[in-house]
Amino acid sequence: MNYFEIPFHARGIFHKRLNRFVGLIDIIWPFTEKEVKIHIHDSGRLAELLYDGNEVLIRRPESTENRKTGWDLVAARYGSQWVLTNSGLHRSIAEWLFKNGIPFGKLKEILPEVKSGDSRLDFLLVDSENRKIWVEVKGCTLSINGKATFPDAPTSRGRKHVEELIELRKSGERAAIVFLVMRKDSLCFSPNITTDPEFAEVFYRAVDSGVEIYPLLFEFDPPHLFFKKQLPICPRNQVK
């Protein structure tokens, strides 16, 4: 298994977000260029990562057709670590994990983007005993005092997906949420009750209904992303 490779092509200094999905940076390596627009493939706030003066990693997209920018944001620095900030990579990372038996063991099938009810969930997996596992994958870049937490912005779409998993679990199906935790200093995981109390409520309903929760911790040492371990869920009486 070893690592998942995520190449980057340049380093830059972030300046500001022009809108939700476009940022402005100066490239500082391997050449210099001022005021370059980059695509931010993450709808979260990322306030602790994307601020004026912070260092970022970017890469060229495979295709620039129908694009307004020629670069994609890959990661941003947080202290001594790099934090992956490109949610467009989550499916590939998840598939890499699943193919290597994490966290569900050996699988017969890995089917992405499968419709269930009114939702389209990230994966439908089939285990070695032909049992279905419905999976939603979420990226987590925020950690506060050692507690990885999601989301960093309210997410009605995220709540809808968790509600769908609860209904699947009630019908007897196996259902799970996989959180890709990109802050290596995290010790446990909790929903972000301050930012999105409605998501926190549905998260704990999911836990109580038997939906499986897998917060998986990573370390990004560019260009290598390493899976470290599964984190525990923080005690509820410590969640604020």
Cβ proximity of 163 and 203 under 8 Å: no
Tell me, what's the pLDDT at 240?
54
Give me the domain span that covers residue 18: 4-79
Is 47 found in the same domain as 121? Answer: no
pLDDT value, residue 239: 55
pTM for the full predicted model: 0.95
Q: Where is the domain boundary, 38, 63, 79? A: 79
Say how far residue 145 (Cα) sits from the centre of its chain. 19
**Could you tell me the pLDDT band of residue 118, with boundaries at 50, 70 and 90?**
confident
The residue with tokens 């994609």 is: 72
Q: Is the peptide bond before 223 cis (omega within 30 degrees of 0)?
A: yes
Domain with 230 in it: what CATH number? 3.40.1350.60
User: Quick one: 109 and 16 in the same domain?
Assistant: no
Average pLDDT, integer, range 230-239: 85
Last residue of a domain, one of 53, 79, 105: 79
Number of domains in the chain: 2
How many Å apart are CA 68 and CA 90, to the nearest integer?
A: 22
141 & 39 share domain: no
Based on the domain organization, do 58 and 175 belong to the same domain? no
**pLDDT band for position 124 (cuts 50, 70, 90):** very high
Alpha helices in the chain (DSSP H): 90-99, 156-170, 197-209
Q: Of the residues 44, 79, 114, which one is the last residue of a structural domain?
A: 79
Predicted local distance difference test score (pLDDT) of residue 199: 97
Is cis: bond before 232, omega within 30 of 0?
no
pLDDT at 68: 86
Examine the domain organization and report whether 114 and 212 are in the same domain.
yes
In DSSP terms, 8 is beta-bridged to none
Judgement on whether residues 65 and 105 belong to the same structural domain of the protein: no
* 75, 145: one domain: no
- Over residues 40-90, the pLDDT tens digits come to 999 899 999 999 999 999 999 988 778 889 999 999 999 999 999 999 999
The CATH code of the domain that includes 55 is 2.40.50.580
Q: What is the mean pLDDT of the chain?
A: 95
What DSSP string runs through 95-125? HHHHHTTTTT-SEEEEEEEEEETTEEEEEEE
Q: Are residues 106 and 28 in the same domain?
A: no
Residues 93 and 172 in one domain: yes
Identify whether residues 112 and 139 lie together within a single domain: yes
* d(C-alpha 79, C-alpha 143), whole Å: 13
The string of pLDDT tens digits covering residues 178-213 is 999 999 999 999 999 999 999 999 999 999 999 999
- One domain, residues 229 and 187: yes
Say if residue 11 is in the same domain as residue 101.
no
